[in-house]
Amino acid sequence: MASVHTAAYRIFRRHGLTTVFGNPGSNELPFLRDFPKDFRYILGLHEGAVVGMADGYAQAKRRPALVNLHAAAGTGNAVGALTNAWYSHTPLVLMAGQQVRSMIGLEAMLANVDAPQLPRPLVKWSHEPACAEDVPRALSQAIHMATLPAPGPVYLSIPQDDWERPAGAGSEHLVERRIASAGLPSPAQLGPLLERLNRAQNPLLVLGPDVDARNAGAAAVTLAEKLGMPVWVAPSASRCPFPTRHPCFRGVLPASMAQIARRFAGHDLVLVVGAPVFRYHEHQPAEHLPAGTQLVHLTCDAHEAARAPMGDAWVFDIPGTLSYLAERVYNAVRPLPTVLPRPERASDEGSGKKLRPERVFDVLDAVAPDDAIYVKESTSTVSAFWQRVAMKYPGSYYFPAAGGLGFGLPAAVGVQLAAPERRVIAVIGDGSANYGITALWSAAQYRIPVVFLILKNGTYGALHWFAKILGAPGAPGLDLPNIDFCAIARGYGVRALQATSGDMLEAALREALGADEPVLIEVPTTPIELI
């Protein structure tokens, strides 16, 4: 009879989970013993970076990723990064080590007491098998749970002495199991929605990250064009579901009730697809919808549908439903919206040897490949980035879905691993960079050619803006001067450049994009004026 160890690797191999992201401790070594030659292990120096790398990898692959954590302490280090994975519907299989079974009740060192409770509520399912024989079945369940709609992270705690125990009878059947989910509604169910779209006088489309995650952007473009609809990206956008130079594209909705309601004024029907309704942030109480506006919500997540404060919801397969609607909706007589005017190109004018962020993004848009992938974590410059950088293709943009800092640097490493045929450019604020800085070591060790663009303004820019809004000017802890990112990068083995003018930035970007190794570019920037 096969051991639990052998059965587990057979299950992982059958599901394509042959890349393991981890930071091992003693509890995990029995799992890693005799590591198969057809698997690869990507080491991160902190569990937050480990989960960030896996998050980016799984999102870009559109498949689950396997994460190996160290007991309670390692899981605790990873929980912050789990907030982003949870809200981005990332299918992660988190597998943590546990003390030997006979020592858990004694609360021995490295025992994870009440292990399944630790990562909740940021996982779909959390479990510790009652016996070693059930570990293979639990692993199979974890993989299927992570991928079934709506996808998301799952957690499994496995005692270290389980791996060499015999697998349960029938464990060989787990390798061949497949689960299919069918979420495409019937014509009878979609008929009323189709009728409402055809009847609408001035409809508007709001697209969220699940449209890009499910590769449904082409259907969204067809639907928008046939109905002549303006298209907004849902607030707090973590992916780009619509080409940003298309005539229908209007931008990203602000994360405020009052401001969203103002943008919906004059529209009789709002169709929201692949996003919650809505991820508000700034507290500006208002009516959720203006008078005369109705809202329809299409989502893969029953929880999102249930908690929405307004509108009718359909919990259906997003690409199948969008394609059905796009094929059958009437061609409207209304013209397409006018293309948004491009902002004027910014000059080098800054403060001393600092660039304006707008200038950085203009250079980036001119130099980067058409199919570049941007991993963005500079929260104060999000609006300027969306206005100035073109994104045409699916899977071109990733941002922390829950706003949890530390995503950007490691996620960029994971995305580049998953998409080696495209170039990944990580646009990271100096405040954000410090949360995931150890990912530079992984990039260097595995020679992952990410371009890390660090916007260094010496402040938490978004917090300075919030300090004004919330009446807290002069609050402590909002500035972080005197950090040398070039020195830090070189210490981790990453080539580093600095750019203090537009011409220097262009030359540095071209050099970095031509390299087959990671390169960090530090760009001193001025704080941006938020609106």
Question: Which of 483, 512, 515 lies closest to 497 in space, CA to CA?
Answer: 512
DSSP-derived secondary structure for 149-202: SSP--EEEEEEGGGTTSBPPTTGGGGGG-------PPPHHHHHHHHHHHHH-SS
Q: CA 293 from chain center: how many Å?
A: 31
Residues 380 and 22 sit within 8 Å (Cβ to Cβ): no
Q: Are residues 311 and 382 in the same domain?
A: no
Q: Is 281 a catalytic residue?
A: yes
d(CA 464, CA 500): 24
Return all residues near 185 (Cβ < 8 A) that are at least 6 apart: 314, 316, 321
- The per-residue pLDDT for 172 is 84
Q: Are residues 204 and 166 in the same domain?
A: no
* Boundary-marking domain end, from 176, 203, 218: 176
Asked if residue 408 belongs to a domain, the reply is yes
Q: Is 28 a catalytic residue?
A: yes
Other beta carbons within 10 angstroms of residue 216's beta carbon come to 25
Asked if residue 347 belongs to a domain, the reply is no
Q: Are residues 63 and 84 in the same domain?
A: yes
Q: Is 26 a catalytic residue?
A: yes
- The per-residue pLDDT for 443 is 98
Q: Are residues 252 and 361 in the same domain?
A: no
Q: Are residues 220 and 170 in the same domain?
A: no
Asked if residue 469 belongs to a domain, the reply is yes
d(CA 274, CA 224): 15
**Domain span at 162:** 4-176
Give the pTM. 0.95
Q: Are residues 136 and 106 in the same domain?
A: yes
- We report the CATH number of the domain holding residue 495 as 3.40.50.970
Q: Are residues 225 and 143 in the same domain?
A: no
d(CA 54, CA 35): 19
* Boundary-marking domain end, from 122, 145, 176: 176
Asked if residue 451 belongs to a domain, the reply is yes
Asked if residue 338 belongs to a domain, the reply is no
Which whole-number Å values give the CA distances from 227 to 50, 73, 205, 296, 307, in the listed order?
43, 53, 10, 16, 29
Of the candidates 16, 170, 281, 349, the residue annotated as catalytic is 281
d(CA 419, CA 369): 14
Other beta carbons within 10 angstroms of residue 226's beta carbon come to 17
Q: Are residues 404 and 485 in the same domain?
A: yes
* Boundary-marking domain end, from 328, 349, 380: 328
Number of independent structural domains in the chain: 3
Q: Are residues 428 and 286 in the same domain?
A: no
d(CA 200, CA 77): 49
Of the candidates 15, 70, 89, 144, the residue annotated as catalytic is 70
Asked if residue 345 belongs to a domain, the reply is no
Of the candidates 15, 46, 47, 323, the residue annotated as catalytic is 47
Residue by residue, pLDDT tens for the chain (531 residues) are: 799 999 999 999 999 999 999 999 999 999 999 999 999 999 999 999 999 999 999 999 999 999 999 999 999 999 999 999 999 999 999 999 999 998 999 899 988 999 999 999 999 999 999 999 999 999 999 999 999 999 999 999 999 999 999 998 888 888 889 888 877 888 898 999 999 999 999 999 999 999 999 999 999 999 999 999 999 999 999 999 999 999 999 999 999 999 999 999 999 999 999 999 999 988 888 899 999 999 999 999 999 999 999 999 999 999 999 999 999 999 988 888 988 888 988 887 655 689 999 999 999 999 999 999 999 999 889 999 999 999 999 999 999 999 889 999 999 999 999 999 999 999 999 999 999 999 999 999 999 999 999 999 977 766 666 666 667 677 676 677 789 999 999 999 999 999 999 999 999 999 999 999 999 999 999 987 655
Of the candidates 22, 217, 350, 403, the residue annotated as catalytic is 403
- We report the CATH number of the domain holding residue 213 as 3.40.50.1220
b or e along 86-125 (b: 16 or more beta carbons within 10 Å of the residue's beta carbon)?
Answer: bbbbbbbbbbbbbbebebbeeeeebbbeebeebbeebbbb
Q: Are residues 257 and 385 in the same domain?
A: no
Of the candidates 25, 228, 251, 493, the residue annotated as catalytic is 25
Q: Are residues 146 and 55 in the same domain?
A: yes
Asked if residue 337 belongs to a domain, the reply is no
Residues 333 and 321 sit within 8 Å (Cβ to Cβ): no
Q: Are residues 319 and 442 in the same domain?
A: no
Of the candidates 5, 15, 22, 28, the residue annotated as catalytic is 28
312 secondary structure, DSSP code? E
Other beta carbons within 10 angstroms of residue 23's beta carbon come to 23
Q: Is 70 a catalytic residue?
A: yes
d(CA 54, CA 264): 37
Asked if residue 39 belongs to a domain, the reply is yes
d(CA 137, CA 11): 9
